[in-house]
Structure formats: C-alpha cells, structure tokens
Amino acid sequence: MVSYAYLGSSALAPGDLTLQTSGGPAAHPRFFTGFLTSPAATASGLLAVAEVARSRYFRPLDPASLDPVVTAGSDRLRFESFSGCCGVYARLDVLPTGIDGEIVAHGTTNVDVNVPLQRALSRVGPSDPMHLAVGPDELAVTTFDGPVVERKVPLPSRWLRGFAEAQVLTSRFDPRAELGVAEARALLQRMNSGDRSVLWAVPAGRTLRLTSRPVPGAICLPGAGRLTAFKPFLRYASTLRVYGPPITAGSAPVSSTWELSSPAMRLSLTLSPEPYRGFSGEGAVLEALAADEAADDAELISALLSWDPSIDIDTLALQSGLEAARVRDALTQLSTAGRVGFDVAEAGYFHRTLPYTVDGVAKMNPRLVAARALAEAGAVGADGVVRSGGEVYHVRDGESCTCPWWAKHRGERGPCKHALAVRLVAAGSSPSSNQAVGA
C-alpha cells in the first residue's frame, strides 16, 4: 500500500462534494468546483468505476476497495479504478462539455465511494443538479440526499503496477470496431455475467460476431462477464468503440479496451488477456525499464510535464533533447509510479499527480530487481548461460529460456529474470548504473 499526505479529511457537506487531494497549490484549496452538465450519466459512470473496484472477477471474494483515483487535468476530470483481482481497469473521463465549472489547479486523489454515497449517486435523475468540488480539505457533493462524510484510504501498490502495465499495453492499441448504442445493447445483453472464457469478436456489418477462435481482424474478448459494469451506463451512451492490438490466426489471448461514449464523457473497461491474469503481473514494462538511462530520463521528463489534456511525445523530445524512444521509456518509468496513463480514444498519454521516486519504482517490479542482481553477481556467462538458485539455465536469442517461468508463460507475460539479466549484460549495464534504475 502507498500512503499520501493530505491537508485535511475528506467530507461531504451540504451543497458540495469535495475530493481530498495529494497535489495542487496551497493557494487553491479546491482544484475543481462546478456543476456536471450530465449529472445522471456522471453518477452512473462513477458507480460503474466503483463497481469494478469492489469486484473480483476471478474467484470472487468479499468486496475489495471502493476508492477510485480522481485526477483533475487542465480541462477534464478522470476517475480510475482496478478490480480487486486487478484484471479490469475502469476509467470515466468527464470531458470539457461535461463540466460547468473551473479547474483552478491540478491534483490526484483517492475517493471513498461507500454505501451512503452510492445511494446518493444512484438516485440522481437526469434533471437533478449535481455539484462537484475537488480539493484538499473535503469531499462534498450536492444532491437531494444531504451530506455524507467520507474518509481517504491508502492507494494499493498493485494499482500502481497495474497503471504501468495498462499504459504500456493500451499504447499499442488501435481502433478495431465502432457500434451504435442499439447494437451495443444487443451485444452486451447476449453476454453472461459469469462467462470467463476467452472469445473473439469479429466485425460483421454494424455489429460484432463472437467466435471461439482468433481470426485476422478479430478483437479479443477475454471474459465477457467482466463487461457487466457497462450495462447501467448504456442509456447515456451513443457509441461503443473497441480497441486492441492486431490479431492473426493462432494469436494468444490479448488485452482489449471497450469504451462507451457520449459527447460529455467516456466510460472504458480494459480487460487483461485472461480473466485469471491481473495487470500487475503482465511484465509489459520490463524491457523499457531495463534501459540504463530510463531513471535519469524519467527525472528529466517529469520536470517537463505540463498539464495539457495529453502528453505530446515529439514536444517532450524537443524540450529534453532525447530521442522519442527514450521519452517513451521515461514515460514507462513514470507510469510505474502511477504518474502516466494512456488514453486510447485520443491515442495520447496523460499524467497524474502522484509521488515519484526511483526507490519507489524499484519495488514495483521484483523480476527486474532479480535480473539486476544476477547481472551484478556475474551469474551470466557466455552464450546466454545463467546460474541461478543452484541451477543452470540457457537463454536463447536474449528471449526464450529453459527456466520454469518461460515454460509456463512462453513470453506472454514479459521476459523472465534470466533473459533480462542476459540483456542487461549484453547492453553493458554496470553496477553503478543499475543502482539508478528501478524495477
């Protein structure tokens, strides 16, 4: 768990919902205050994000966290959460047309969505006013139900790792399908809430046809039951868009993003490649973090980040003097601390105001820490031979390995520690540089 220092307790007072923040200038005790132009839709979207946070889609247990992360950017609000199993990443983006107020500062916070607030949100009607304020001292919302007091909680460390993995995976996505709301409703109604099988959605006219095998042009739908949080929001949406990586015949299961949108907001659910897999263990960030210069570059890029709605890679490259590839690796380093996310709808990065330290990042990916220890201990020999735990493993072409990890995952969850160690040695990583880069 990661704890943040706040200036005061969250509170819900008559007339305002104010969210506690860990960022934002002291001169602005609230970094947003105003009305929501689509109050019922926003309430429904918030409840969907909270529903994901309380759900465990694989081996369901008692409800987990109910505390979405809220970020105020220069012109919008973002509410994010992961499921208790960390296999579903949910985000509600309230766009400029969805807010009638002023964002006077920028910050990120955790928000309790406990039973009293859930009840208040569930009763917000289309014509009911809903006033939202986000600040350091209180959490307050105006509805017809009166005040509710909420308390802040620590941010789960798995969520930080999940933020990083989701950012890397979704940055490789392209738009794959677009459906009208009628077709989207018919599609979602055919999905069983308990379905944890891996299906493939193939564009067919104005809808999607589900099949059990991957074919070129298909979209992976790993665990259709994990889209059930969408259903209450359908009444406010106009379009369903689906994003994912290229698929060929014989493709292994991959992640995908499903997004319901309206002019005022977007609600998206990103699914891990298989229902039993959490984003926090995918290993997609490891190669970018293995570069010697990643930590130093991250410090530089962190200082250059502005609060535009999206992060422009070319602009950061020009400002920093780094190549675009190094900027992306630096953003991956920052994403491991939860500082950077990726918006598939706009094909651009965005950032949050969460603390970033190299030491903190190092704790997020123990596989890379173990690889650096092997490299520094001289355990990597010629021709990809690695001695580890009393065993000898052979890494071929810097990728495949004879270890149990590779035999089980075949590279689908990132490289094993032995392959990473071989790459580090091949790249000439030194002990001094290794100390500068986290996991």
Each residue's pLDDT tens digit, 7-31: 444 444 444 434 444 444 444 467 8
Number of Cα atoms under 13 Å in the Cβ half of residue 264: 17
CA–CA distance, 149 with 119 (Å, rounded to integer):
13
Beta sheet of 400-401, edge-to-edge order: 385-388, 391-396, 400-401
Host H or E run for residue 201: strand 198-204
CA–CA distance, 415 with 395 (Å, rounded to integer):
11
Reported as a single tens digit per residue, the pLDDT across 120-165 is 889 999 889 888 877 665 667 778 776 665 656 667 778 888 888 8
Instruction: Report pLDDT for 362.
Output: 62
Residue 402: phi, psi to the nearest 5? -90, 10
* Any domain includes 319: no
Segments in the chain below pLDDT 50: 3-28, 429-439
* Any domain includes 297: no
Last residue of a domain, one of 155, 182, 210: 155
Query: 176 and 142 in one domain?
Result: no
Residue 20: phi, psi to the nearest 5? -65, 145
Instruction: Report pLDDT for 298.
Output: 86
Domain tally, the chain: 3
CA–CA distance, 87 with 103 (Å, rounded to integer):
32
Reported as a single tens digit per residue, the pLDDT across 282-310 is 666 776 666 667 778 888 988 888 777 67
Instruction: Report pLDDT for 318.
Output: 93
Last residue of a domain, one of 107, 126, 155: 155
Query: 150 and 25 in one domain?
Result: yes
* Any domain includes 90: yes
Query: 402 and 370 in one domain?
Result: yes
Instruction: Report pLDDT for 305.
Output: 82
Instruction: Report pLDDT for 11.
Output: 43
Instruction: Report pLDDT for 175.
Output: 97
Query: 122 and 51 in one domain?
Result: yes
Domain that holds residue 136: 11-155
Instruction: Report pLDDT for 431.
Output: 40
Instruction: Report pLDDT for 33.
Output: 85
Instruction: Report pLDDT for 415.
Output: 87
Instruction: Report pLDDT for 387.
Output: 93
Query: 200 and 138 in one domain?
Result: no
Strands annotated E in 294-371: 340-343, 348-351
- Paired residues of 175 in beta bridges: 243
* Any domain includes 202: yes
Number of Cα atoms under 13 Å in the Cβ half of residue 102: 4
Last residue of a domain, one of 86, 121, 155: 155
* Any domain includes 267: yes
* Any domain includes 300: no
Residue 184: phi, psi to the nearest 5? -65, -40
Query: 245 and 209 in one domain?
Result: yes
Query: 275 and 221 in one domain?
Result: yes
Query: 181 and 102 in one domain?
Result: no
* Any domain includes 307: no
Asked whether the beta carbons of 411 and 287 are under 8 A apart, the reply is no
Instruction: Report pLDDT for 352.
Output: 83
Other Cβ atoms closer than 10 A to 6: 15
* Any domain includes 132: yes
Query: 184 and 69 in one domain?
Result: no
Asked whether the beta carbons of 300 and 334 are under 8 A apart, the reply is no
pTM of the model: 0.82
- Paired residues of 104 in beta bridges: none
Query: 56 and 42 in one domain?
Result: yes
CATH number at residue 58: 3.10.150.10
Query: 272 and 138 in one domain?
Result: no
Query: 150 and 17 in one domain?
Result: yes
CA–CA distance, 220 with 189 (Å, rounded to integer):
18
